[in-house]
Amino acid sequence: MLSTDTYHDAVIIGGGFYGAAIAVYLAKQRGLKRIVLVERESALLTRASYNNQARVHNGYHYPRSFTTAYRSRINLPRFVHAWPDAVTQNFTKLYAIARRNSKVTAKQFVRFCGEIGAKVEPADQTLRQLFEPRLIEEVFLVEEYVFDSTRLASWAERELKECGVQIRLETCVTKILKGPNGMLRVAMQSNRGAEELSSCRYVFNCTYSGLNQVKGDFPGTRTGLKQEITEMALMLAPPALRGLGITVMDGPFFSMMPFPARGLHTLSHVRYTPHLHWNDQQGIDPYQKLKQYERVTRVDRIVRDVGRYLPAVLDAQYIDSIFEVKTVLVKNEGDDGRPILFEKHPELPGCYSVLGGKIDNIYDILEKLDAEQFVCTAVQDHAGSGVING
């Protein structure tokens, strides 16, 4: 049985980086006073915000999607300025262009970097010697960073507390419903079985892979989503590769990046990192599919292929694998772009769905929110009180 209604200006569903950042923004920049953030896990930033490559993009990764690349180039310095303690810069970042099967040549890559204003220069001979020259056309020194999700989580906990945002951990939102007088009603259930119904003016669905798993009057996203179960191998890099981040592109190739949260490197491969994929739809719970998936590592195949281009990786030590559900927009499978999903639902005025493919996309989201009108709702605290529009 649902408990008596509570009242909030906004309910944020999902305690990842996006949910936390939006909650802080609404409190600090837009003056909303009663905000609750609902997270199904036992701590903030423990799912997709943690289980990823931890790359802060500077545009290099997207030569086939100018918009994604340019927005990353613009957003990176803003992200570094806002979260300096969470960003690791003290490593050398290399992009190498494969001679065969790459969708971009070295000459095209240099021209592309010039177009987006990203720094690029040929790597010195010592770094070039790490690569197999028969397979690699050129190696470039670039500026790109990684983030420590555990430090971002500490920021989120501190900022949310200072802003007075309520945090409900180990709690799922099950339904979003139309309420009276233009309000929304959000049904939530804790892992212990307690249920609550909250009335609010605004709902932000920031559940990433779970966007379309909310029931009630929630219509689902109009934008088609694809779900993937992915494996990120965690490696102890050999001495020759420590202090380096390496990406070979652009096509069926790989990246080896520092992973500050564990003091290791992630090793990912375009062909072997995705294990399973399906088109997202209501009723197919991505998290349940992940829970039931037999997590058999493909690290041997990854290392074997990577070793052809980067022989030193054969001396890396495999430590662990991170499995997670990755969500992408179906329309961008062809160009590898990572635009944001920002949808307002006309059926539920005040309800938003938000998904960003990269951590620096948060600025694209906040710019969208800058254009929105938000009204605080003053309420009385006793049960059964009326709602006064303020």
| pLDDT at 331 (0 to 100) | 80
Alpha-helical segments (H) within the chain: 17-28, 66-82, 106-116, 125-128, 149-163, 286-292, 299-309, 362-370
CA distance 240 to 213: 45
Contacts of residue 50, Cβ cutoff 8 Å, sequence gap at least 6: 149, 150, 153, 261
| pLDDT at 275 (0 to 100) | 97
Q: Residues of the chain with pLDDT > 70: what percent?
A: 94
| pLDDT at 381 (0 to 100) | 41
Decide: 322 and 48 in contact? Cβ < 8 Å: no
The yes-or-no verdict on residue 383 having pLDDT over 70 is: no
Count H helices, E strands: the chain?
8, 23
pLDDT in tens, 199-250: 999 999 999 999 999 999 999 999 999 999 999 999 999 999 999 999 999 8
| pLDDT at 337 (0 to 100) | 63
| pLDDT at 365 (0 to 100) | 95
The yes-or-no verdict on residue 388 having pLDDT over 70 is: no
Q: Which tokens belong to 11?
A: 């309910």
What integer is the mean pLDDT of 314-320?
A: 98
pLDDT band at 385 (very low <50, low <70, confident <90, very high): very low
Decide: 347 and 3 in contact? Cβ < 8 Å: no
Q: Does 344 or 340 have the greater pLDDT score? A: 344
Q: Does 385 or 254 have the greater pLDDT score? A: 254
| pLDDT at 117 (0 to 100) | 97
pLDDT band at 387 (very low <50, low <70, confident <90, very high): very low
CA distance 386 to 390: 12
How many other C-beta atoms lie within 10 A of the C-beta of residue 179? 20
pLDDT band at 282 (very low <50, low <70, confident <90, very high): confident
In the predicted model, what is the mean pLDDT of the chain?
Answer: 92
pLDDT band at 334 (very low <50, low <70, confident <90, very high): low
H or E stretch at 103: none
The yes-or-no verdict on residue 156 having pLDDT over 90 is: yes
DSSP string, 143-195: --EEE-HHHHHHHHHHHHHHHT-EEE-SEEEEEEEE-GGG-EEEEEEETTS-E
The yes-or-no verdict on residue 382 having pLDDT over 50 is: no
